[in-house]
Structure formats: C-alpha cells, structure tokens
C-alpha cells in the first residue's frame, strides 16, 4: 500500500477524514499519516487524504482480491431455475470495503471515480457489473507446512529454528482467535464446570481384566513416563492423557476386535485447563476484523485460510506403518505446551473413528498437577499414581463393553489402469475460487 503522507491537500481537491470511513485500519492510517484539511463530507478539520488517492487504493484492492461474479444456476423446490450472475453491485462492494453506507456520498463519489473512462476510453470498472471476493489459495503457506514436516521428519526435530519460526508465525495471537459465535479457539475448562472425560482399555478375549477391575484409577490413567509409548501428541517417554467426551468415541478410538472387551471410566479435572479446540479453528475470525487496506492483508488471510484446514491435518488417521507421521503433531503439541504464553494444556480434535466424536489430549504438565500459572521449563514429568495429578479417576464409573460387531464407512474409488484414485467429481477443494 502506498503512503498516505500527502502534502498537497488544497482547496478544490475533495478530501476525506478518517471519521468518515468505517475501516479501522484505514482510519488509523489517515489519522497518523495525513495532513490536516477540511473534510469534503463532514466539513470537520481533521487529518484528511485526497479522495482520488483513496479511489486508487480501492481500485488496487478490487484488482487484487475481487472479480466479476460467475454465472450460476438458481435452484428451488420446483427444480433448477434460470442462470444468473453471482455477486454484488459496485457501490455495495466499495461500501463493504470502507465499512460505510452504500448510499452515502463518499461511496457515490468513489464509484464515480472508479467508473470514469480512462485515456483509452474504457472505465476501470463497470458500473453495472456484479463483484465477488476471490478466495485465496495459500499455496505458499502449504509449501512452508510441507517444509516444516520434512524438516521435523527427515532433518532436525530438536533445535529446528526454521520449524519454530514457522510455528511462531502460524500460532501468533492464537488466544485471541474465535469463531462467528464468539467461541474462542483456546477454551478454558474450569474445574467447577464438572467436565467428565472418558478413557478406556481394550482387553482381548484371552486376557484377564482383573488388574483394571481392581485398580481402574491407575490402569485407565495415562501411563507413567517409563511406559509411555509414542502417540499422536507425544514422543516415547512423555505421558499424555488421551480421552474422549463420550464412551462410544472412547471405544471406537481403541479399534477393538470382535469378541474382545473394552473397559471405560470417567475422569475429572482437578486443575483448570486451557485447551486448543481445532474444531473451532475451522471457522475462525480475528477478534479485530482484517482490512484490505493493510499491506499484510494477503498473508494474514492466507494464514487464516490455512489454519482452517489444520484440523483435518492434525486428526487424519495414521496406520501403524506410518508412525513417522506423528512427528510433526508431536512437535506442535510440545510447542503449544512450552512456547505459547499462557501455555496450552491440551488439544481437542475430531475423532476419525466415530462420527461426531471429539477427542482430547492433555499434556504432561497438566498431568504433573502444576497449575499453568506456576509452570516452568524445569517441571518434572509425572503421571497418575502416587504423584499429584491434574486429572483424577471418578470412582464407580467403570463400565465393561463387550464388542459384538464393528461397522465401517467406505468410499468407492476409481480404478484407472494400474492405479486407484479418488473420483475427482466428488473431490472438494477447500480453497475454491469464490467466497460465497
């Protein structure tokens, strides 16, 4: 974006002050970088910028981020309807950019400047065309993501400066992100709310469940560090509490065999926990609206678009022969628990084994029973058992489940010669061309 430091605000030139535009970023720029003048619209003497300069900025934004809407076919209960152009009139689009009234004098003046014929006899924009914002494809962010994964999996997991720099950028301001319903991405689970989390153990037909029946408080708890195996959110030796918000999801995540048995129990929080909800991340909006007038708008928007897809990347299923795919999620978990301020105690993500099920993973420092206000990098790693813990088994909640049958959801693939591919007709593009 060009500078707004104008030194030629003189009589006869239409100028506008920051109070006459609604966009917060533009308003601040005008107030801090423009000279004093009498606003042509409110007649107050304030820092002002020439309207022609503002029109040039609006034109740049329209060229970069908007286009004339596509032709679509309407539909109704009676069937397919007529073909129409999608989009919004130019005055509405300009007003939306400025956060102004579409019928106000500033919008009208700008539309007039945008539709006036240029030297070649053609207007910059058509007055009667319909415009829509293009969806941004964050391909450069995807490339950074792949570089991050490759670096963690094949080069240096520890002391990876490039990986940390990427995560610093990706999760910047994570505590301030929320969805359209004002649900924050980082949720505070308070003890007084009485949350119950479920955790289970699978018992094959030939095994004896006696130990679990006698001591569910230790047998169902997160394993001690000596027995902690690598998982989606933890490396070997670092205990993490993997649970679910209902028993059915808990059972499905264990992928039990027919004829076996699953024992599940409820756990409760003894400490408040800050949990990053990847489901909310899919629908995030910044607490402060983004401005197209911000020179960093494009990269900020691409970051937000990428964050909306992060849930599927985090929760995608991993087969036993792909354990290396856990490395990047383990690094993310470690980053969130040690490098974010205030630290994050766990994450929530969708179950890929049970429709509508939600999993939760609580990190080792919460299991160590240390309130987040008092945690340091030197905290010991502990787990349930003789040590204090932030998660405790609820007595008399043990339930035994006999596995009678297992159902599967399948997707038909296309055989193309010597390869098998997904049917492209049903492929969904998360970065479609248009924002409807």
For the packed helices 326-338 and 161-170, what is the interaxial angle rounded to 10 degrees? 70
Q: pLDDT value at position 362?
A: 95
Does residue 414 form part of some domain? no
CA nearest neighbour of 33 among 297, 295, 275, 395: 295
Q: Are 398 and 264 in contact (CB under 8 A)?
A: yes
Residues 224 and 322 in one domain: yes
Interior angle at CA 308, CA 307 and CA 312, nearest 5 = 100
Measured distance CA(55)–CA(16) in Å, rounded: 11
Residues 351 and 215 in one domain: yes
Residues 123 and 191 in one domain: no
Measured distance CA(417)–CA(327) in Å, rounded: 34
Residues 258 and 345 in one domain: yes
User: Of the residues 133, 161, 196, which one is the last residue of a structural domain?
Assistant: 133
Q: How far apart are the first and last CA of the chain?
A: 27
Residues 95 and 243 in one domain: no
Measured distance CA(256)–CA(265) in Å, rounded: 16
User: What sign does the CA torsion over 322, 325, 329, 330 have?
Assistant: positive
How long a stretch of residues is the chain? 436
Residues 253 and 347 in one domain: yes
Measured distance CA(61)–CA(175) in Å, rounded: 29
Does residue 167 form part of some domain? no
Q: pLDDT value at position 196?
A: 94
Residues 272 and 359 in one domain: yes
Measured distance CA(106)–CA(98) in Å, rounded: 10
Q: pLDDT value at position 384?
A: 40
User: Of the residues 67, 100, 133, which one is the last residue of a structural domain?
Assistant: 133
Q: pLDDT value at position 5?
A: 44
Per-residue pLDDT of 305-363, as tens digits, reads 888 888 888 888 766 666 677 888 888 999 999 999 999 999 999 998 898 999 999 99
Number of domains present in the structure of the chain: 2
Q: pLDDT value at position 301?
A: 87
Range of the domain at 342: 186-286+306-402
Does residue 379 form part of some domain? yes
Residues 74 and 196 in one domain: no
CA nearest neighbour of 360 among 226, 191, 189: 189
Q: pLDDT value at position 413?
A: 80
Measured distance CA(436)–CA(430) in Å, rounded: 13
Q: Are 198 and 244 in contact (CB under 8 A)?
A: yes
Q: pLDDT value at position 127?
A: 87
| Token pair recorded at residue 116 | 């006036």
Q: Dihedral of the CA atoms 36, 41, 43, 46 (nearest 10)?
A: -20
Which is it for strands 346-350 and 273-277: parallel, antiparallel or unpaired? Answer: parallel
CA nearest neighbour of 50 among 84, 90, 2: 2
Phi, psi of 402 (to 5 degrees): -85, 130
Residues 207 and 87 in one domain: no
Measured distance CA(397)–CA(268) in Å, rounded: 11
Does residue 152 form part of some domain? no
Residues 6+ apart with CB under 8 A from 305: 135, 136, 137, 138, 141, 431
Burial class (CB in 10 A: 0-12, 13-18, 19+), 240: buried
Does residue 417 form part of some domain? no
- Long-range contacts of residues 296-299, Cβ cutoff 8 Å, at least 24 apart: 298/64, 298/65, 298/136
Measured distance CA(72)–CA(106) in Å, rounded: 32
Q: Is the pTM of this model over 0.95?
A: no
Does residue 161 form part of some domain? no
Does residue 23 form part of some domain? yes
Helix (H) or strand (E) holding 30: helix 24-33
Does residue 204 form part of some domain? yes
The neighbour count for residue 93, using CB atoms within 10 Å, is 25
Residues of the chain falling short of pLDDT 70: 1-12, 73-81, 154, 156-159, 286-288, 318-323, 369-388, 421-436
Residues 85 and 211 in one domain: no
Residues 191 and 96 in one domain: no
The neighbour count for residue 283, using CB atoms within 10 Å, is 14
Residues 95 and 221 in one domain: no
């Amino acid at each position: 974006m060009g500078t707004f430091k104008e030194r030629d605000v003189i009589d006869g030139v239409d100028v506008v002050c920051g109070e006459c535009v609604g966009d917060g970023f533009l308003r601040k720029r005008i107030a801090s970088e423009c000279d004093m003048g009498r606003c042509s619209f409110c007649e107050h003497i304030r820092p002002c910028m020439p309207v022609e300069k503002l029109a040039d900025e609006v034109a740049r934004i329209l060229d970069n981020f908007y286009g004339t809407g596509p032709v679509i076919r309407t539909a109704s209960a009676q069937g397919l309807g007529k073909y129409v152009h999608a989009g919004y009139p130019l005055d509405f689009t300009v007003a939306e950019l400025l956060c102004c009234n579409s019928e106000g004098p500033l919008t009208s003046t700008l539309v007039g400047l945008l539709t006036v014929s240029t030297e070649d006899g053609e207007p910059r924009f058509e007055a009667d065309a319909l415009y829509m914002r293009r969806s941004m494809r964050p391909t450069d962010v995807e490339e950074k993501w792949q570089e991050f994964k490759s670096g963690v999996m094949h080069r240096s997991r520890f002391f990876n400066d490039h990986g940390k720099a990427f995560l610093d950028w990706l999760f910047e301001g994570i505590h301030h992100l929320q969805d359209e319903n004002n649900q924050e991405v980082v949720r505070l689970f308070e003890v007084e709310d009485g949350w119950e989390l479920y955790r289970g153990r699978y018992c094959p037909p030939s095994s004896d469940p006696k130990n679990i029946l006698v001591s569910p408080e230790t047998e169902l708890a997160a394993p001690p560090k000596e027995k902690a195996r690598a998982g989606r959110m933890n490396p070997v030796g670092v205990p993490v509490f993997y649970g679910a918000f209902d028993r059915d999801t808990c059972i499905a995540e264990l992928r039990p065999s027919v004829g076996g048995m699953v024992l599940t129990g409820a756990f409760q929080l003894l400490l408040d926990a800050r949990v990053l909800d990847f489901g909310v991340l899919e629908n995030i909006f910044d607490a402060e609206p983004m401005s197209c007038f911000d020179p960093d708008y494009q990269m900020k928007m691409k970051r937000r678009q990428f964050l909306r897809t992060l849930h599927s990347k985090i929760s995608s299923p991993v087969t036993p022969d792909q354990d290396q795919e856990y490395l990047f999620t383990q690094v993310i978990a470690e980053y969130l628990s040690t490098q974010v301020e205030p630290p994050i105690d766990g994450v929530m993500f969708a179950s890929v084994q049970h429709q509508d099920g939600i999993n939760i993973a609580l990190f080792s420092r919460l299991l160590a029973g240390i309130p987040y206000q008092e945690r340091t990098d030197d905290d010991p790693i502990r787990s349930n058992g003789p040590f204090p813990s932030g998660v405790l088994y609820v007595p008399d909640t043990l339930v035994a489940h006999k596995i009678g049958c297992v159902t599967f959801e399948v997707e038909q693939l296309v055989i193309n010669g010597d390869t098998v591919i997904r049917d492209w007709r049903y492929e969904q593009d998360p970065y479609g061309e248009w924002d409807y």
